[in-house]
């Protein structure tokens, strides 16, 4: 091979190498621009994060719907079977307030494409059966105990959603309903306190001391001894 031919081959190989590098760089740029590299991974990660956030809102809606139905059904039972006026009145208040809240929640959920439960689950059905078998003071005691516990949980869940929910409408529902639930909790706690005072005799004692005849009764009792 002549010297000129050898030099020409070298130049040809060099040009081919440069062309190969240019094509490889172009392919890499096309891949990045299409977002099949790191950009697409980040986008997918963002979608997953958004889905996870909405999952929290969806869980809240499902729990709130189930709890709201249970409050209405238990309220109807209390309005019928309550031994005291306070328990019957509180039960009716549950029916009125939670029925209204349930309707609003269904409207919001429907607008989001969510389908909340329409019937009580096995756990709440079992609780209904248990309460249906009770009557008188036993019913009042168990109902009040249940309502105190349930409303503490409700207030905590609605506060969490109102403060950290991602969906604007669901968050607004939680915020607007929260004051009513807080009022319910205060009401049932007062009823529970009165029941405990009656059980201990303190409420009866307080009423007796308010009467002027209380001291006379005591003095007569001492003189009889």
Q: Are 155 and 195 in contact (CB under 8 A)?
A: no
Note whether residue 211 is domain-resident. Answer: no
Note whether residue 114 is domain-resident. Answer: yes
Note whether residue 13 is domain-resident. Answer: no
Read off the pLDDT of each residue in 129-150 and give the average, rounded to a whole number.
Answer: 97
Note whether residue 18 is domain-resident. Answer: no
The token pair that represents 36 in the structure block: 């099949």
Read off the pLDDT of each residue in 133-155 and give the average, rounded to a whole number.
Answer: 97
Task: Please report where in the chains the tokens 């190969």 appear, as a residue.
Answer: 20
Tens digits of per-residue pLDDT, 161-220?
A: 999 999 999 999 999 999 999 999 999 999 999 999 988 877 654 344 434 444 444 444
Q: What mean pLDDT is reported for the chain?
A: 79
Higher pLDDT pick, 43 / 53? 53
Higher pLDDT pick, 69 / 30? 69
Task: Please report where in the chains the tokens 């409303």 appear, as a residue.
Answer: 151
Residues of the domain holding 113: 46-204
In the predicted structure, residue 157 carries a pLDDT above the cut 90: yes
State the pLDDT confidence band at 31, using cuts at 50, 70 and 90: very low
CATH number at 64 reads 1.20.1260.10
Note whether residue 79 is domain-resident. Answer: yes
Note whether residue 14 is domain-resident. Answer: no
Q: What's the domain count of the chain?
A: 1
Say how many C-beta atoms besides its own lie within 10 A of residue 188's C-beta: 25
Note whether residue 220 is domain-resident. Answer: no
Is the pTM higher than 0.85? The answer reads no
Torsion of CA 210, 212, 215, 221, to 10 degrees: -110
Q: Are 187 and 178 in contact (CB under 8 A)?
A: no
Report how far residue 159's alpha carbon sits from residue 175's, in angstroms, rounded to the nearest whole number.
7
Note whether residue 137 is domain-resident. Answer: yes
- Res 176: pLDDT: 98
Helix/strand/coil (H/E/C) assignment for every residue in the chain: CCHHHHHHHHHHHHHHHHHHHHHHHHHHHHHHHCCCCHHHHHHHHHHHHHHHHHHHHHHHHHHHHHHHHHHHHHHHHHHHHCCCHHHHHHHHHHHHHHHHHHHHHHHHHHHCCCCCCCCCCHHHHHHHHHHHCCCHHHHHHHHHHHHHHHHHHHHHHHHHHHHHCCCHHHHHHHHHHHHHHHHHHHHHHHHHHHHHHHHHCHHHHHHHHHCCHHHHHHHHHHHHC
Report how far residue 65's alpha carbon sits from residue 131's, in angstroms, rounded to the nearest whole number.
21
- Res 53: pLDDT: 57
């Amino acid at each position: 091979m002549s010297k000129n031919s050898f030099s020409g081959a070298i130049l040809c190989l060099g040009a081919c190498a440069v062309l190969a590098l240019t094509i490889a760089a172009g392919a890499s740029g096309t891949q990045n621009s299409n977002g099949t590299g790191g950009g697409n991974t980040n986008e997918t990660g963002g979608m997953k994060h958004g889905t996870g956030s909405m999952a929290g809102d969806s869980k809240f809606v499902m729990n709130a719907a189930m709890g709201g139905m249970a409050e209405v059904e238990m309220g109807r039972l209390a309005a019928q079977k309550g031994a005291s006026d306070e328990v019957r009145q509180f039960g009716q208040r549950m029916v009125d307030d939670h029925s209204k809240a349930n309707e609003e929640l269904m409207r919001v959920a429907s607008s989001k494409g969510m389908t909340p439960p329409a019937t009580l689950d096995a756990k709440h059905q079992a609780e209904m059966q248990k309460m249906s078998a009770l009557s008188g003071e036993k019913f009042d005691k168990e109902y009040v105990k249940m309502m105190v516990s349930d409303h503490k949980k409700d207030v905590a869940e609605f506060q969490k959603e109102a403060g950290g929910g991602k969906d604007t409408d669901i968050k607004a529902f939680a915020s607007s309903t929260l004051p009513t639930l807080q009022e319910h909790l205060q009401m049932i706690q007062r009823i529970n306190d009165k029941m405990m005072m009656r059980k201990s005799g303190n409420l009866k004692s307080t009423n007796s001391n308010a009467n002027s005849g209380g001291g006379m009764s005591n003095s007569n009792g001492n003189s009889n001894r």
